Amino acid sequence: MRDFLKITAALSDPSRVRLLLALRRRELCVCQLIELLGLAGSTVSKHLSLLAEAGLVVSRKEERWVYYRLPAAPMPAVVREALDWVFKSLGRSPEATADRRQLDQILKVDPKTICQRQTKN
């Protein structure tokens, strides 16, 4: 029951659901996710931390950059079912479609350039 409650709490915020939908396509740098959501880096990091605690995302560090992705198979059934539910329910929503378009533009820019620009601001 503890895992279920962590997952449902993690899914209770629209920004966290948007992060999951964005990560459905591929691994992304935190700076790309910040760019997508338009939120402060600390806020996005907190959202990602809650998703990671629920087992919905995993991270890796490369030099100064942190990348997030969905967990690889095999994953716990409760995680797989939660992700499937999110993707089936919201994967084609207007918000997800708009985010996909914006992410396509973000992916045209080197993540290091985005990170450097965010660091200056």
Q: How far is CA 97 from the centre of its chain?
A: 15
Q: CA-CA distances (angstroms) from residue 3 to 28, 77, 79?
A: 25, 11, 9
For the chain, how big is the Rg over CA atoms in Å? 14
H-type helices in 1-121, by residue range? 2-10, 14-23, 30-37, 41-53, 77-90, 94-106, 111-120
pLDDT of residue 121: 67
- CATH 3.50.50.60 assigned to domain 2-120? The reply is no
Give the pLDDT mean for 84-110.
96
Does residue 107 surpass a pLDDT of 70?
Answer: yes
Q: What is the pLDDT of residues 70-86, one digit of tens each?
A: 999 888 999 999 999 99
- Confidence band of 63 (pLDDT split at 50, 70, 90): confident
Phi, psi of 30 (to 5 degrees): -55, -40
In angstroms, how far apart are the furthest CA atoms of the chain? 43
Q: Please report which confidence band the pLDDT of residue 65 belongs to, taking 50, 70 and 90 as the band edges.
A: confident
Compute the mean pLDDT over every residue in the chain, rounded to the nearest whole number: 94
What's the pLDDT score for residue 100?
A: 97
Q: Is the pTM higher than 0.75?
A: yes
Per-residue model confidence (pLDDT) at position 119:
81
- pLDDT for 42 beyond 80: yes
**Cα–Cα dist 42/115, whole Å:** 14
